[in-house]
Amino acid sequence: MTISRHDRLATALADRGADAYVAVKRPNQLYLLAEHHDDPSSVISRANCGAVLFHGDDVVVFPGIWISNACRDLLDNCEVVVNDPGDPPPHQQLATRLSAMGLKKVLFDTLSADMIGAITSKAAATECVENDFVTSQLRRTKDEHDIAGMREAARVADLGMQTAFGCIRPGVTCAEAIAEGTAAMLRAGAESVAMAPASGVGTYYLDSGEDPRRTIEAGDMVFIDMGIWVHGYLGDMTRAAIVGEGSKEQHSLLTTVQQAYKLASSAMVPGARAGEIYQSVVDHYAATDMDRYFVHHLSHGLGLGGDLPRVARGGEDVLQVGDALSCEPGCYVPGIGGARVENMILVTADGPEELTRTPIDPELG
């Protein structure tokens, strides 16, 4: 039987000797409010909700002035402390409420100086502790709702990437390709889309090579990195290709990167150590003297944002069933081009499951 998020939160609070939990970070708010709204990302659409207090069966939202009306009108089975012009800011409203409740210990996912000052002034008897166990523990192990959300985000990302690469040919600008991909994903239900294209020998990792105004030419290496949000869940993906025949060196680079992806993704199993997976990719690139061109992390967590685990140099995370993470071993060689393959991976008891479905070699227009 699946344990509800409410019950998991209650157990975690009891284990830590705490009476209540305050979510200030939007991903944690969305996660814990999912039992109070079909799609809380449509209500708290930005990171501008002041705080949400969870105490037993009570949920109290302190939205602040910007989304006060939306929270009041759209959230069910919870109290919304309305914030009208001239009202105190949400952290002061929260401090006043904590003073009235007389709680002994409250955990916060983050504590700002303003929050600490307000609580010290109004609820000095309440011990406030910063402890983001919702991100590090509860949200890390994906439940059925999470997995459904990530599958949908991956589906929409697939559609956008395939649409964009289907437009790529000599004479087309990068902007024209990603405009089609972006439109396809917005029509399919994404609330936010960012596609970063790079083409030509100047491509590197998140540098000026990602100029959407560049015109694609025969012989270019092209890669598109994207990050989208669908009902609050991240869809993350990258593909690379060669326009036209390309050179021997370009094909070698692309093949090496694709091999690195297959090596790393196949190692994402329960019990695998993040640092060892990362080092296996470094060693793979070192065999062809390309390790110096692998300049970033291999993986980050997926979900509602800021998720664990992370696979990078010296990483200490150990993968576990229920983890969701990217796999993106890019390589960027001066004078040749840049290539990266990135898929969304779910770690299951049977091994890694690719949520991303787009072929590793995307079809060009």
Model confidence over 253-285: pLDDT tens digits?
A: 999 999 999 999 999 999 999 999 999 999 999
**pLDDT value at residue 212:** 86
The more confident residue out of 254 and 36 is 254
pTM exceeds cut of 0.85: yes
**pLDDT value at residue 206:** 44
Residues 312 and 187 in one domain: yes
Residues 91 and 198 in one domain: no
How far is residue 326's CA from residue 311's CA, in Å, rounded to a whole number?
A: 9
Q: Is 365 contained in some domain?
A: no
Residues 204 and 329 in one domain: yes
Residues 167 and 122 in one domain: no
Residues 102 and 205 in one domain: no
How far is residue 347's CA from residue 365's CA, in Å, rounded to a whole number?
A: 34
In the chain, the amino acid numbered 72 is R
The more confident residue out of 211 and 117 is 117
How far is residue 75's CA from residue 37's CA, in Å, rounded to a whole number?
A: 6
Give the domain extent around 116.
5-138
Predicted confidence (pLDDT) at residue 46 exceeds the cutoff of 70: yes
**pLDDT value at residue 76:** 86
Give the mean model confidence (pLDDT) for residues 87-94.
96
CATH number at residue 165: 3.90.230.10
Residues 213 and 154 in one domain: yes
In the chain, the amino acid numbered 57 is D
Q: What is the CA radius of gyration of the chain?
A: 23
User: Of 108, 138, 168, which closes a domain?
Assistant: 138
Residues 122 and 64 in one domain: yes
Secondary structure letter of residue 169 according to DSSP = -
Residues 283 and 194 in one domain: yes
User: Of 110, 138, 166, which closes a domain?
Assistant: 138
Say how many domains are in the chain: 2
In the chain, the amino acid numbered 187 is R
Q: Is 339 contained in some domain?
A: yes
Residues 104 and 148 in one domain: no
In contact, 28 and 45? CB cutoff 8 Å: no
User: Of 138, 168, 201, which closes a domain?
Assistant: 138
- Residue 200: pLDDT band by 50, 70, 90 thresholds? confident
